[in-house]
C-alpha cells in the first residue's frame, strides 16, 4: 500500500508539473508549452534586434506535439508576455489564447504538416527581399548554399496569408530548408528555433553577399558548380562535434 501511495503521489506531481492551472481561456497550458512560448518570443525579438524584420512584419512558430505555437497578428514582439500565448492545432483551429494568430498562418501550417519541421521563421529581411525581386533562384555565391539543401528558390508572388502563397512556398521548399518569397521575404524551418533562425540569417547573408558582388561595374561574381556543391554536401554531413 505504501508503494501504491507513493506511485499515486508521483502521478499527482507529474500532473501538476504538466499543467499551469488558472488560465482564463481554452485548455490548460502544458509546462512544455510555457517554455516553448518563452523561446518563441525570444526568437521573435531577436529577428527585430538583428534587423531581419521591422515593426510587426515576419512571424515565428514552434510545434509542441500537435499544437503549433505562433506569434499573434499585429502585436510588437517586445510587448508579448506569457499570458499572450497563442496556439492552434494542425487544422488551424485556435486551442490556446485569445489573440488572433499571425495572418501568415497558412504558410506555417503548410510547413508543419508536410515536413519534419518543429520551428519556422518568416522574415522580411531587406537583402533577401531585394534578391527575390531580381531572380527566380539565388545564385550559388557561397558554399553554405548546400547547407540549405541546394540553390535557394524564389516562390512566385501571391497575396500574403493566402493558400496560394502557402502552395507556392511548399513548391520552392522541395528538398530545401529555406526559400525566398517573391517581393515578400524569407521562409526557413528547422528541428529547433535556433536552427530555423540560423538558416534565416545565413540566407540573408548570402543574399547580401550576392548583391554586393553583383554591384561591381564590369564584373560578375564567380559561382559554384553543382559538383562543387555536392562536395560541400559530403563535408557538411560530418561537420561539427561528435558524441
Active site residues: 104
The residues facing 70 across adjacent strands are: 61
Helix (H) / strand (E) containing 38:
helix 31-49
DSSP string, 113-167: HHS--SEEEEE--HHHHHHHTT-SB----SGGGGGGTSSPBEEPP--TT-HHHHH
CB 123 within 8 A of CB 186: yes
Is residue 237 helix, strand or coil? Answer: coil
d(CA 48, CA 40): 13
Nine-digit cell string for 136 = 527566380
Amino acid at each position: 500500500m505504501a508503494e501504491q501511495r507513493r506511485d499515486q503521489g508521483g502521478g499527482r506531481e507529474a500532473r501538476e508539473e504538466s499543467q499551469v492551472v488558472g488560465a482564463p481561456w481554452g485548455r490548460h497550458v502544458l509546462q512544455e508549452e510555457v517554455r516553448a512560448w518563452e523561446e518563441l518570443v525570444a526568437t521573435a525579438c531577436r529577428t527585430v534586434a538583428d534587423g531581419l524584420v521591422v515593426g510587426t512584419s515576419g512571424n515565428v512558430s514552434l510545434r509542441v506535439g500537435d499544437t503549433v505555437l505562433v506569434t499573434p497578428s499585429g502585436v510588437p514582439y517586445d510587448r508579448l508576455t506569457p499570458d499572450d500565448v497563442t496556439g492552434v492545432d494542425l487544422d488551424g483551429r485556435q486551442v490556446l489564447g485569445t489573440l488572433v494568430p499571425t495572418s501568415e498562418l497558412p504558410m506555417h501550417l503548410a510547413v508543419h504538416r508536410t515536413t519534419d519541421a518543429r520551428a519556422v521563421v518568416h522574415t522580411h529581411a531587406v537583402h533577401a527581399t531585394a534578391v527575390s525581386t531580381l531572380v527566380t533562384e539565388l545564385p550559388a555565391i557561397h558554399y553554405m548554399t548546400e547547407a540549405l539543401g541546394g540553390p535557394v528558390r524564389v516562390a512566385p508572388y501571391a497575396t500574403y496569408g493566402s493558400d496560394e502563397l502557402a502552395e507556392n512556398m511548399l513548391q520552392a521548399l522541395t528538398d530545401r530548408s529555406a526559400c525566398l518569397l517573391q517581393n515578400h521575404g524569407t521562409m526557413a524551418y528547422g528541428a529547433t528555433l535556433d536552427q530555423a533562425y540560423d538558416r534565416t540569417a545565413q540566407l540573408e547573408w548570402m543574399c547580401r553577399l550576392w548583391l554586393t558582388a553583383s554591384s561591381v561595374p564590369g564584373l560578375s561574381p564567380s559561382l559554384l558548380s553543382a559538383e562543387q556543391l555536392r562536395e560541400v554536401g559530403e563535408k557538411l554531413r560530418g561537420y561539427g562535434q561528435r558524441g
